[in-house]
Structure 1
């Protein structure tokens, strides 16, 4: 099979149709994209060759990144590794000119990059927001500066919706988890905090004081490979960590044994993964209920992925000198929670949820040259953008 032209690898990734639009439910189009922090690029010479080359210069990259983002015509855009200065001076004013509003949160400490989420104001209005810090005082599992941005949005455009139908509510989470492959315990802790915060924001009080959960989109750079234990926790809603090593969590290393490991120390020392004072149980939600199954993490978000990942596949979302793999995802609420997935005292059901219609193709490892790394003259980040179109639909119970 002939190798594709290198510019086509990144510039002609079409949307693959998964299902046809059903009835009059409103659709939402989301993009997630790690745009590569300028500071991180120059602080990691082992990942990026020819750092003085023209294609790595921010003045070259910024216009191309913006043009690419706008070409997707998304309703919601989640960006990671955005420099605070670049958000204020570049992304926000230019995207605002194109009908978007946006919020930004930098990583904690002295970090200058963070997560930025934009939404098209002709489609959604902002109802609520929360900036989530994964660093918690006196907690060695939550001692890193990663963050998440959560937005609660309400639809303002009835286009494609049934006449007289109420506006759609949507919780959108944008995050960038820890990179360090040796600290899977930290990554699991960050995911637990993220899921707890998402569940709390997505839980709404309806007529008669009845609690329901609005549809959820969770997107970003999770720094974990497909089918890894962390990936399985998000999608399957359950993970037993008692026999896992921290280095195995993100899928970078398999079957690690022998070394002293914090995960096994947690399993041996207490039933709760996180300190109880944080109020987040092994059900990945804010509660102080006892754990019915020790050393097992659960959640009731019932998330699916916009992308299917088969074992051994060669698709990728990031490419640099150390890796050519998938670490970026778009997760969405896809069905009504089952009480068997999360043993909370009162699981909350979805009234509405989301149905995947299409997703943008991912590039293949066979389409890039050996030793090739991004950014280059065609692609201005070391990641590629992910995009999905979804439709609001009634939840199945």
Structure 2
């Protein structure tokens, strides 16, 4: 039979269905939805998945993630990394737990001027990549920062339960995801409002706080007990103050978090559990806060930076008051490697406090020099604040580097890319990832996983590091993130595995 005698399929002769119209009765054609109907369909699917995830026996306890189309999977491609085993690897006592941390870059914070050349700033371009990378980590505990569209993520992560919190007035916040089949939450999670925390016991409220400005930063912690085998872990995440010149404020914030996670563990009677502090600490390994946390002697430069950065911002009047803080708008861009200028001594007592807006020099606007009433902590007082931890804090990546084949990772470490400048050879911090935030405008190491062992009285050993997610090479991240096919955030995730 010739091809001309073959009947045409009905689809070639049937007119298309108009959007919003139903096909003829008996037709096998599917109705064509209007954009509004498509949006409602997606919303129903998301709501259904969220309901399944929270239902007993479903979602987080056995349901599967939402299926994605081939187009969505293609849009979700990202630059993958391999896991590297260290230490006892597959052997040893205790059970292994994978932990991760990722600043996802809140959509509400995306500004084209901050990411010149990026092809991945719209939510429609970023969403599938974020979902793919989140799903790929396969961690048992995942700490997230700058999360503002959680409802789009949860349906794709049905194996997890979560806790979340936001700083006052912020559109994005912190999330801790934990595998529901492995962990159960003990009691209630705790939120630490860093601006309001006190670091002294004497004087007025301002002096007791010892802070330099209103930041609206918080810490979020939760106690997670193993469902099988007993024991558990205290997980904490945070996103410390971003401004590169406020070195003192970050040192104060991190010391408070260390103190509070220990208090939280004590309040639950879980001294035999380790603590994990993971997040975006907005501090590099050569900064005072890292040295204080890891009990590393400070350099002269760090001590000077602490003093010069302790300038009092006018926003402190809004802390613990009923006066709402004004909208701050889009923050100005400050080079991340900027250093607070040295503040000259003022011999004229009558001029104290009159230089508002000039006291901190360029980049520290609307500030004045501190007085006794501001309660700024000296370095020795900061050391006392950090000393309440009751054990040696270790960085997962830095320790893993020391345990592994160093020469193979040299090009991927913080110390390797510094070539020793500002850091003692093989000193603490050398083995941190070369970059955890890489954009056309800044290249920094800011994200960490810190481990605090059980209390000495518990008799339990410190957790052992067994693996880590290998850092990217610099050339893989250039010219900068976010970028399609690489990463949808300006930060890359840090992930590791411990046994305890």
- 204 and 145 in structure 1: CA distance in 2 versus 1, 3 angstrom threshold: closer
Aligned partner of 1:283 in structure 2 is 384
Match for residue 379 of structure 1?
487
Equivalent positions of 1:1-397 (< 5 A) are 11-21=79-89, 22-41=91-110, 44-50=111-117, 53=119, 55-83=120-148, 86-87=149-150, 89-95=151-157, 97=158, 99-109=159-169, 111-128=170-187, 129-136=189-196, 138=206, 139=209, 140-141=211-212, 143-158=214-229, 167-203=230-266, 212-236=271-295, 243-245=304-306, 252-253=337-338, 257-258=342-343, 269=372, 273=376, 283-284=384-385, 299-308=389-398, 311-313=415-417, 315-334=434-453, 351-369=460-478, 371-392=479-500
14-23 or 124-133, which deviates more: 14-23
1:214 and 1:26 map into 2 onto residues whose CA distance is: 13
Tell whether the 8 Å contact from 1:78 to 1:118 is kept in structure 2 after alignment.
yes
Greater helix fraction, Structure 1 or Structure 2: 2
Change (3 A) 1:301 1:10: farther
> What residue ranges of structure 1 are gaps of 5+ in the alignment?
1-8, 159-166, 286-296, 338-347, 393-397
SS at match of 1:212: coil
- Are residues 101 and 236 of structure 1, via their aligned partners in 2, closer, same or farther at CA, if it must alter by over 3 Å? same
Question: Looking at CA atoms only, which structure, 1 or 2, has the larger radius of gyration?
Answer: 2
SS in 2 for 1:103: strand
For normalisation by structure 2, the TM-score amounts to 0.59
Residues 119 and 223 of structure 1: CA distance in aligned 2, closer, same or farther (over 3 Å):
same
Report the CA distance between 1:13 and its aligned residue. 1.7
Residues 235 and 57 of structure 1, relative CA distance in 2, 3 Å threshold: same
Q: Secondary structure at the match of 2:102?
A: strand
Shift of 1:323: 0.8
Tell me the CA shift for residue 212 of structure 1: 2.9
Deviations along 1:314-352, one digit per CA (max 9) or x if unpaired, are: 611111232112110011125766xxxxxxxxxx66634
Q: Which residue is 1:340 aligned to? A: none
User: How far apart, CA to CA, are the structure 2 residues paired with 1:197 and 1:327?
Assistant: 21
After superposition, give the CA deviation of every residue in 1:287-319 in whole Å (9 maximum; x if it has no partner).
Answer: xxxxxxxxxx77434211111255352611111
Preserved CA contact (<8 Å) 2:104 2:147: yes
Cα distance, 1:146–1:255 mapped onto 2, change above 3 Å: closer
Aligned to 1:126, what secondary structure does the other structure show? strand
Query: Which structure features the higher share of strand residues?
Result: 1
**Offset at residue 236 of structure 1 (A):** 1.6
Tell me the C-alpha RMSD between the 2 structures.
3.5
Deviation at 1:381, TM superposition (A): 0.9
What does the per-residue CA deviation read over 1:227-279, in whole Å, with 9 as the maximum and x for residues that have no partner?
Answer: 321111121277697644456799935695355669x976x84896469xxxx
Deviation string 1:32-57 (CA, Å, 9 cap, x unpaired) is: 1111000101xx33311257x4x222
Q: Aligned with 1:329: secondary structure?
A: strand
Distance 2:341 2:258 in 1: 27
Paired residues of 1:334 and 1:355 also in contact (CA < 8 A): no
How many correspondences in the alignment?
335
1:36–1:383 CA contact under 8 A, matched in 2: yes
Helix, strand or coil at the partner of 1:74? coil
Deviation at 1:157, TM superposition (A): 3.0
TM-score by length of structure 1 reads: 0.74
The answer as to whether partners of 1:107 and 1:145 remain within 8 angstroms in 2 is: yes
Aligned 8 A contact 1:204 1:214 in 2: no
Return closer, same or farther for 1:245/1:274 CA change in 2, 3 Å cut-off: closer
Q: 1:272 to 1:155 in 2, by over 3 A?
A: farther
Equivalent residue of 1:46, what SS? helix
